[in-house]
Amino acid sequence: MIQVEISLTKVHGSDNEFFILDQTKLSRKLTDSEIKAITKRVSDRDNGLWQGADGVLVVDEPTHSGPLGMMRVINADGSEASMCGNGIRTIARYLGQEHRQLNFKIQTMYADLLVEQATPLAPSIQTFQAEISPISFAAKDLGLHWQDLPELHHQKISVLSDQLIFTAVAVPNPHLISFVDHETLTGPELGRIASYLNNGDNPIFPDGVNVSFVEVLAANHLFVRTYERGVGYTNACGTGMSASSLVYVLEQGGHFEQELNVQNPGGMVKTIVHENTDTERHSLYWVSLVGNATFLGAAMLTLEQLNDPDFDLTQVHFEETGEQEKYRQFIASL
């Protein structure tokens, strides 16, 4: 039997961590159930690979001409998401290096999205820009069931909270956004609400939803904290910060094409919210997300090792890049 050797590269965007698994490099393609099992195993924060991760980004050949490659997003719990804003920047770097290209498209579940190398956020910080799209406020695209509303804009959801005001938007993965004060941002409400909405049997978002609390620090300067579907609290959520930026801009009266500075527990990104004037685009609104794409290191394993419950992943040797030290310096300088 041919041994399947799998290289796993640990990467992050704003400390939202993933392993890149490139199907195109394997002696045989992994099945979806193998990918799901590997993701759950390596992402485990206690017993996984190199302190685990928030999920796995699977690279594969695109199914049609145009994009350089395809990205699939598998959450730490094995569920599949339609998009990942922090992840796609790292895949942009990965595919760009492989194919020696600086701007190109990546196939995702619902659209081929433009990515490009961007001006570094700081010296030695590899920085990429990604198109976040298609965007929809429709309840049917969000998997939202609340009082038969077709959309949820700036409204209370009484069963969640009698204080907080929510807007729901799919970018295209589903997000529930609430603008809050600093005490609420850092308090337990986010975890309480988001764990209920991701418990698998709530009637409002039966398929779960990413929940973000947003504090406005100054004009065009936000702090976003996210509890993600399929993961829990993460250091950052790229699509969550894009969704929050869009809701902020719309609630401020629609000042498009301005750069927003968005901080998160793991770092910062920049966003620009666009209103569509280009028929090539996938939806009325789209967001440019600019942020780091940091490579931490890589390890080589066999499928046999990954399938063996007695094989201790915590002891696997990782070839480190040294990039994290530079990222820490960048964060400290903010």
Ligand X SMILES: N[C@@H](CCC[C@H](N)C(=O)O)C(=O)O
135 binds ligand X (CB under 6 A): no
Q: In sequence order, what are the residues at sequence separation of 6 or more whose Cβ sits closer than 8 angstroms to the Cβ of residue 171? A: 83, 85, 132, 133, 135, 239, 242, 243, 246, 287
Measured distance CA(244)–CA(94) in Å, rounded:
27
Stretch binding ligand X (CB under 6 A), from 73-81, 116-124, 145-153, 183-191: 73-81
Binding residue ranges for substrate: 16, 75, 85-86, 173, 210, 228-229, 238-239
- Which of 35, 68, 84, 313 is the binder for ligand X (CB under 6 A)? 84
Q: Does position 230 bind ligand X by CB under 6 A?
A: yes
CA distance 254 to 274: 9
Beta partners for 221? 218, 261
With binding defined as CB under 6 A, does residue 291 bind ligand X?
Answer: no
β-bridge partners, 127: 292
- Residue 239 within binding range of ligand X, rule CB under 6 A: yes
Encoded one letter per residue, x for contact with ligand X by CB under 6 A and - for no contact, window 5-34 reads: -----------x------------------
Q: Does 81 bind ligand X (CB under 6 A)?
A: yes
Helix (H), strand (E) counts: the chain? 8, 18
Span near ligand X by CB under 6 A; candidates 184-192, 236-244, 260-268, 317-325? 236-244
Residue closer to ligand X (CB basis): 294 or 303 = 294
Q: Which of 52, 67, 69, 238 binds ligand X (CB under 6 A)?
A: 238
Decide if residue 231 touches ligand X (CB under 6 A): yes
Q: Quote the CA–CA distance of 208 and 229 in Å, as a whole number.
A: 6
Closest separation in Å from C-beta 304 to ligand X: 29
Whether 278 sits among the annotated catalytic residues: the reply is: no
Backbone angles phi, psi at 115, to 5 degrees: -130, 155
Q: For 44-142, where are the alpha helices, taking DSSP H only?
A: 85-99, 139-142
Whole-number minimum distance, CB 287 to ligand X, in Å? 11
User: Which is nearest to 249 in space by CA: 224, 228, 275?
Assistant: 275
Quick one: 231 or 293, whose CB is closer to ligand X?
A: 231
CA–CA dist 172, 329 (Å, integer): 33
- Give strand ranges (E) for 85-172: 103-107, 112-117, 127-132, 167-170
| 229 touches ligand X by CB under 6 A | yes
Q: Is 143 left (phi over 0), alpha (psi -120 to 50) or beta?
A: left
- Residue 235 touching ligand X (CB under 6 A): no
Q: How far is the CB of 173 from ligand X (least distance, A)?
A: 3
43/75 with CB nearer ligand X: 75
- Is there a catalytic annotation at residue 310? no
Q: How far apart are CA 14 and CA 24, in angstroms?
A: 27
Q: Are 146 and 118 in contact (CB under 8 A)?
A: no
Pick the closer one to ligand X by CB: 87 or 96.
Answer: 87
Catalytic residue, from 58, 84, 204, 273: name it.
84
Please tell me the distance from the alpha carbon of residue 300 to that of residue 283, in angstroms, as a whole number: 40
Q: Is 96 in the site for ligand X (CB under 6 A)?
A: no
Of 42, 113, 211, 237, catalytic: 237
| Complex with ligand X: residue 125 or 231, whichever CB lies closer | 231
Is 86 a residue that touches ligand X (CB under 6 A)? yes
127 binds ligand X (CB under 6 A): no
Residues with catalytic roles: 84, 237
Q: Which residues bind ligand X (CB under 6 A)?
A: 16, 73, 75, 81, 84-87, 173, 210, 228-231, 234, 237-239
